[in-house]
Structure formats: C-alpha cells, structure tokens
A and B are shown apart, each in its own frame.
Chain A
Amino acid sequence: MASSDIRGVIREYLQDRFMIGKSPASLSDMDPLLEKGILDSTGVLELVGFIEETFSFSVEDEELVPDNLGSVENLVRYVARKAGHGVHN
C-alpha cells in the first residue's frame, strides 16, 4: 500500500471513529492527536486494534508511543515501516 493510501485509510478511520461531528479540515497531518483532544488513552487501544487488523501486523508494547501513533504523519510513517513498505509518494 502506498503511503498516500495508508494516509487515506487512517484519516478515514479517525474521522469515522474519533471525529464524529468535526470537519476533516480541523485536523492537519501534523496535529498531535492527544493535544487536539481526538484521542485519549483509552482511544489509543482502539486505534491499535484497528491498525493491527487493517495492516496485518502486531504493535509491540514498546512501540505504543506518541512518536509512532501521536499524529497522522507519525502513524503513516510507522505503518509504512512496519508493513514493510517504503514511502512512495
């Protein structure tokens, strides 16, 4: 999957599950999901479940850090790396 597709899938998921009632434009790819109030620490587990299921890899405990999952941009990079894809723009 190309990174643009990964980005699309992740953004759609976040919109659908955590941004009900918010406009997609209210979140940029660089925005920190915790500080913007999109995710809380319970929501992170939900997000992890989705990533594991959708991209068919398991998220290790030590990878559960904001550097990997804290913004759309970080998520795209992390998923691309874990799923064994380079970044093709």
Chain B
Amino acid sequence: MCGIAGYVAFDGSMPPRETIERMLAALRHRGPDGFGIYYGERCVLGHARLSIIDLEGGWQPIFNEKRDVAVTFNGEIYNYIELRKELEADGHRFYTNSDTEVIVHAYEKWGTACPERFNGQFAFAIHDDRDRTLFLCRDRLGVRPVYHARAGNIFFFASEVKALNASGLVPLEPSMEGLHQIFTLWTNVSPRTPFSDVFELPPAHGMVVSPRGTGTKRYWSLPIGRKEALSPGECVEGLKAHIERSVRLRLRADVPVGAYLSGGLDSSLTAAFTRRCTSTPLKTFSLEFEDPRFDESEYQGEMARILGTEHSSIRVGTEEIAVHFPEAIRAAERPLLRTAPVPMLLLSRLVRSEGYKVVITGEGADEFLLGYDIFKETKVREYCSRRPESRLRPLLLRRLYPYLFPDSRTARFQEAFFLKGYTETTDPFYGHRLRFDQAKRIRDFYSRETASRLHEDPESVLLQAMPHGFSDLSPIERTQVVEIETLLSSYLLSSQGDRVAMANSVEGRFVFLDHELIEFVSRIEPDRKMAGLREKAILKEVGRGMIPARILERKKFPYRAPDIESFQNTAAGRRILDEALDPVGMETFGLFDVDKVQALAAKVSSVARRNGRVTTSDNLVLMGVLSGQIFHKIFFGPSVPAEGFHPHDRVRRIVRGTAKGEDEWLRATSEG
C-alpha cells in the first residue's frame, strides 16, 4: 500500500529526471519503505512503497514477460491468488509473489476490461509500450485515490495532489467552482477538485491516455433498482457468508492485521469475524473522547474483552482536535466542514506507533445496509406525505434525532423543521434537501467577486453525475445512492479514510466495500434492510450470538467530534481561528467577505461566552470559512521548494536500455 506517481510525454519532451523523485518524495508518508522508478522512453512510472505482501519481491514498477507492459500500483487485489492460477494456466509466467504482477498479465489478457476481474481497493497506472498508451484505473468505490493534470504535452498522475505540484510543473490554483461544491455538498463531484485544472479519476473508471487522445470509461456501476424476493433467512445467511468471505480475503497480508473498534455494530462485527477467521492474536484499536457526548469507550472495552483482543486506545481532547485540524486539511487536500477526520488521523498514528500497517474496518455498512439517520428521516417524511392525518406523525418525528435535540422544549419547531418540503417527494434530492438547503447559507458570506465568478449549481452537477435510472428510484433509494456516490467515496473514504490513515502509513481494509457483498445486498428490498425504523435490521440478525445484545441493539451512535466549539472553547483553538479569520489573509484569498465573516464570528463567540449552543448553520458557515482559509494558506501560500530523496532512502531504478537482448533490455540499479 503505497503511493504512485508518473508522467507520459508523447512528443518526447520529458522533464528532468529529478522530477519523479520530487513527486515520490511528496508521497513518502504513503510509502516510506522504498522508492521504485521505471524510466521509459516517453513515460516514467514511480512508486513509494509500504510493504505488505511479498516483502522482498514486491518492488515496483513490475513488468510482463516481454517487459513491454509496466505497472505502478497502490492498493490490494485480494483475489490475486485465484487470478494468478487462471493466468498461469493460460501460459503467463510470474517472477514475484505479489498481487501487483497479476495486474500486468490480467491487462495483457483482458485489456482495459481487466479491473472487472479484480476484487480489491486499487489505483494503478499501466504503460503499454506496444501501442504507447497509459491506462489509469481506480477501484469501484474509490477507496484509493488518483489525480491527474496536464502541463503542456506532459500528462501527470499521482495518488495525491501534492505530488503533482512537487513536479514543479503543475502549479496549484484554487478552483472557485470546486470550493463552492465542497461548501454546498461537503465534497466534490468527481472529477472536479478544489484545484483548477487538477482532476480526480472517478471511482470505477479507467482512463486511457495515448498520442491519439484521452478517453474515460466506467467499468462498474452501483447495482440499483434490481430487487429480488429473498426470504429473511436468505438475506441473513447470504450476508453472513459474504462478510466472512470478505474478511478472509482482507486478511491476506504478509504482516499482522489489526482491527478498528468504534463501539458500534459495524466494527464490532468486522472485528468479531476477523477474530473468527484468524488463529493469531488480534490487536484492536479505538478512539476515546474526553467529551462524554462523543465517547463510546465503555462499549469498545466490552467488545475487546469478549473477543479477547489486545486492545489499545487513544483519548482525544477537544483542544487536540483544533490543534491537529490543519494537519488533517493538509492530508485531505480540501477544506473540511467537520473535524471528524482529525481523531482518525490520531488513531492511525497510534496504529503505526504499535507497529501495525493494516487495519480491518467497518465503513460502508451504514450506506449499503441503511444505518444512517438520514434514511429514517427520509422514510418518516415520506410516510407523513402519504398519511398527513396520521396520529403517529409526532411520535415518529420524535424518534428522530434524540441526540441532536436533547431539549424537548423546541419539539414543535423540530417537527416543522424536519417537515420542510416533505410533500415534494419527486425532488431528486428529497432525502438531502434539508442538509443541502442549510449548506446554502455559506453563499451569503462569499465576497462579491466570488459570487460573480460562480456559474455552476452544485446540485445540478451532482444530478448529472447520478447513475442511469436514479430518478426512477424511491426517495429512500435515491438518498442511499447520493450517500454512496458522493459522501462515501469523496468524503468518508478519502478525508476520513485513505488520507488520514496513509498520512501515518496505515492501510484500512473495508469489509463492507467488497463488491460482491454490495451486489448481494443491492438485491435486498430496502424494507428488509430497515425494518420499520430499525436500522441495519439484517446486519443485527447476522450479529446475533456473536456480539452482546447491548451493543447489537444500541441506537445508532453517529461518529462525530466537536466542530467549531473545539476552536471557540479552547485557547489553542481560538488562536487558530483568529489567525484564519485575520482580515489580511482573508483579503488575500478573496473568497469570503471579511466584514460579514467577522460579524458572524463575533456573534458565535458571544453565544459561546454565554455557554449557548451555536446553531447548525452558523457552525457550518464558520467551519467552511475556517477550513477554507487554512486550506488556502497551506496550498497557495508561499511555496517551499519540494524535497527530493534522502541519502538513506532505498531506491530502485529501472532504465529502459538500448540493448535489445531481453536480459539487458532493462537495467536495474539499487541504492540504499
């Protein structure tokens, strides 16, 4: 698990050799165990390595037998053992034991359709000398990232934007439309990023770059709309079998694998299955919060005791969240409207400090098996629209969000708030309407110049990106697709997953993101997944007997961390906030209107002084401005020259030679 970078220049105008070194050095956090580089005639492929499978033989880039196809790869192909057998039977010869080598041979056999055969989380680049093409590809859900940009006739790609920039040929400029999407939707609609002329390859896509042009193609789609009449028993048994298969595949590693334990259902189950599938001692890791409103340590400890794991946890304080927030933005490479990625960053640091590189984790169950409150909210709103006279209405509404509204005094207002637009069931974003509308408030704080430069409506862009058949789905299914297509890939797996874990060289493995598991649960009716208002009903049945009823039947406890209050209520946090809202810095960026932002900050600070609660929309706006300003300072401030390799780095270079004999065709040198 690693970082990848490289470039192709079809007109032969290759940049200096050190270019790739700077790009790879910028990915050192993703792969500190060594750097591998292939210098071809018109392409350079680079790799920063975190060794997990085939510790000695896994150097990259890796080639086919004729050495005219090369790959640099970040991630895991879990079914590489089965694929290798198939490819060997077909006559392909392998020279390593790594999963990477399967990619080049699969590409030879199946061409750009090869990712359809892969079960895994991956981003890779293949250079094919035979027809001088570069094939860039990303896994189905977008667990692993890959970005690209052009500079003249050179096409650059890398796991992170900072590596593109380190080439010295891809200068970073903010994209106002990209930032506007983040402030409105919490995330970008791929391929857009918050940087001008820097793009993300969307999940489940392959991109071919050749002297003849560039083409992008989707190779997998979220199965939507196809439902089958499965009995409750078939649903539970089928899901159980898929989870177990998924866990077994994800335990394929040559290093010890740990597991995250949040104290909730999903990670308790993935840890329990992991325990069941391995005979070696299991290590679990948890986050505790100083603030009891967010803390779940009681349940984490109980689960660790039951599973008999060696358990480590880290206790995160409110001030610590503020202090590490800029670091999380640097890792995520985008403004963050939530602080939740920060504790995940600190957790991966703990994992790394205890010598672990791989953790099994439970993300995705809430999206695919209907765990989030937004699904309940959608169901209740839709019910009210069909049965406006129902006496159940207030009762149903009050079952929503008890944690958000502990003050029962405002119950009637909460009802009115949650019923806003509830009859508009044909609204494509019916389930997200309240959130999207709330986020629009930030527009009032843009500078006049910003407002005049924005021409795209993020909601329209999002709607265009929705899969075929989206508008025919029920409101709850549409809500699910939006959660999966936007927040899961671009926010949760990226800002809260890959980036903050890889910042500390830790790889997360996502049991519920196995595509065969997803294809199975997509066949199940939503009413079985959420029975009444019982979220993840099937998953709870799977867990019966494996995890204690107390954890099984716990109300969904959303993973959250204190947001703007981390900054308002702590000394270090206030310093960060004051610095970010400094008028000079704000004028330099020019995105926000200084006077309006300062008026809001003064209001929020007076609420905090009186120990009042900051309203949701004020919190969102101020988090947007704060993270936007920090983002600006990190990525567009005075630039520091990008570093190259260190003298002690292990580097392996393979240069395409001029001799034609096969053995001499490539010349390999190792340093360090």
Q: What is the CA–CA distance of A43 and B617 in the complex, to the nearest angstrom?
A: 9
Q: Is B416 an interface residue (CB 8 A)?
A: yes
Pick the interface stretch among B32-40, B216-224, B407-415, B578-586.
B407-415
Within 8 A of A (CB), among B460-518: none
Contacts of A22 in B (CB 8 A): 444
Contacts of A56 in B (CB 8 A): none
Pick the interface stretch among B116-124, B351-359, B435-443.
B435-443
Cβ A21 vs Cβ B596 within 8 A: yes
Cβ A64 vs Cβ B617 within 8 A: no
Q: What is the CA–CA distance of A7 and B355 in the complex, to the nearest angstrom?
A: 65
A10-39 near B? 1/0 per residue, CB < 8 Å: 000000111011100000000000110101
Cβ A42 vs Cβ B412 within 8 A: no
Q: What is the CA–CA distance of A39 and B616 in the complex, to the nearest angstrom?
A: 10
Within 8 A of A (CB), among B601-618: 603, 607, 612-617
Cβ A65 vs Cβ B441 within 8 A: no
A58-77 near B? 1/0 per residue, CB < 8 Å: 00010011100110000000
Q: Is A6 an interface residue (CB 8 A)?
A: no
Cβ A41 vs Cβ B417 within 8 A: yes
Name the distance in Å between A60's Cβ and chain B's nearest Cβ.
9
Cβ A21 vs Cβ B600 within 8 A: yes
Cβ B444 vs Cβ A43 within 8 A: no
Return the contact of A35 from the options B409, B420, B444, B600 (Cβ within 8 A): B420
What bracket does the count of chain A residues touching chain B fall in? 20 to 34
Cβ B607 vs Cβ A46 within 8 A: yes
Cβ A21 vs Cβ B445 within 8 A: yes
Cβ B416 vs Cβ A45 within 8 A: no
Cβ A34 vs Cβ B416 within 8 A: yes
Return the contact of B612 from the options A20, A39, A46, A64 (Cβ within 8 A): A46
Q: Indicate whether A66 sits within 8 Å of B413 (C-beta atoms), given known contacts A21-B444, A40-B438, A42-B613.
A: yes
Name the distance in Å between B614's Cβ and chain A's nearest Cβ.
8
Return the contact of A44 from the options B410, B599, B600 (Cβ within 8 A): B410
Q: Is B593 an interface residue (CB 8 A)?
A: yes
Q: Is B405 an interface residue (CB 8 A)?
A: yes
Contacts of B414 in A (CB 8 A): 41
Q: Is A49 an interface residue (CB 8 A)?
A: yes
Beta-carbon nearest neighbor of A16 in chain B: B603
Cβ A45 vs Cβ B596 within 8 A: no
Contacts of B416 in A (CB 8 A): 34, 66, 70
Cβ A17 vs Cβ B617 within 8 A: no
Q: What is the CA–CA distance of A74 and B412 in the complex, to the nearest angstrom?
A: 15
Cβ A42 vs Cβ B593 within 8 A: no
Q: Indicate whether A45 sits within 8 Å of B445 (C-beta atoms), given known contacts A17-B603, A37-B437.
A: no
Cβ B410 vs Cβ A20 within 8 A: no
Q: What is the CA–CA distance of A17 and B600 in the complex, to the nearest angstrom?
A: 8
Return the contact of A66 from the options B408, B412, B593, B600 (Cβ within 8 A): B412
Give chain A's interface secondary structure class: helix
- Residue among A17, A21, A35, A39 facing the most chain B CB atoms (10 A cut-off): A21
Cβ B413 vs Cβ A64 within 8 A: yes
Contacts of A42 in B (CB 8 A): 613-616
Name the distance in Å between A78's Cβ and chain B's nearest Cβ.
14
Contacts of A43 in B (CB 8 A): 615, 617
Q: Indicate whether A40 sits within 8 Å of B593 (C-beta atoms), given known contacts A17-B603, A49-B612.
A: no
Contacts of B440 in A (CB 8 A): 37
Q: What is the CA–CA distance of A16 and B602 in the complex, to the nearest angstrom?
A: 11
Contacts of B617 in A (CB 8 A): 37, 40, 43
Name the distance in Å between B423's Cβ and chain A's nearest Cβ.
13
Q: What is the CA–CA distance of A85 and B614 in the complex, to the nearest angstrom?
A: 32
Beta-carbon nearest neighbor of B411 in chain A: A64
- Residue among A18, A46, A66 facing the most chain B CB atoms (10 A cut-off): A46
Cβ A40 vs Cβ B600 within 8 A: no
Cβ B412 vs Cβ A20 within 8 A: no
Contacts of B441 in A (CB 8 A): 37
Beta-carbon nearest neighbor of B441 in chain A: A37
Cβ B438 vs Cβ A37 within 8 A: yes
Contacts of B420 in A (CB 8 A): 34-35
Cβ B616 vs Cβ A21 within 8 A: no
Cβ B417 vs Cβ A40 within 8 A: yes
Q: Indicate whether A20 sits within 8 Å of B607 (C-beta atoms), given known contacts A34-B416, A35-B420, A37-B441.
A: no
Cβ A61 vs Cβ B596 within 8 A: no
Contacts of A17 in B (CB 8 A): 603
Beta-carbon nearest neighbor of B600 in chain A: A20
Cβ B413 vs Cβ A34 within 8 A: yes
Q: What is the CA–CA distance of A61 and B65 in the complex, to the nearest angstrom?
A: 78
Cβ B410 vs Cβ A45 within 8 A: yes
Cβ A45 vs Cβ B613 within 8 A: yes
Name the distance in Å between B442's Cβ and chain A's nearest Cβ.
9
Q: What is the CA–CA distance of A17 and B615 in the complex, to the nearest angstrom?
A: 11
Q: What is the CA–CA distance of A37 and B412 in the complex, to the nearest angstrom?
A: 16
- Residue among A18, A34, A40 facing the most chain B CB atoms (10 A cut-off): A40
Q: What is the CA–CA distance of A60 and B596 in the complex, to the nearest angstrom?
A: 34
Return the contact of B413 from the options A20, A21, A41, A49 (Cβ within 8 A): A41
Q: What is the CA–CA distance of A44 and B614 in the complex, to the nearest angstrom?
A: 11
Task: List, sorted by A's number, 8 A–B pairs whose CB atoms are closer than 8 Å.
Answer: A17-B603, A20-B603, A21-B445, A39-B413, A42-B613, A42-B615, A45-B410, A45-B613
* CB-CB nearest 9 A-B residue pairs: A21-B444, A21-B596, A42-B615, A43-B615, A41-B414, A65-B412, A44-B413, A20-B599, A41-B413
- Extra contacts, 4 of them, besides A18-B615, A41-B417, A44-B410 (Cβ < 8 A), are A34-B413, A34-B417, A45-B410, A64-B411
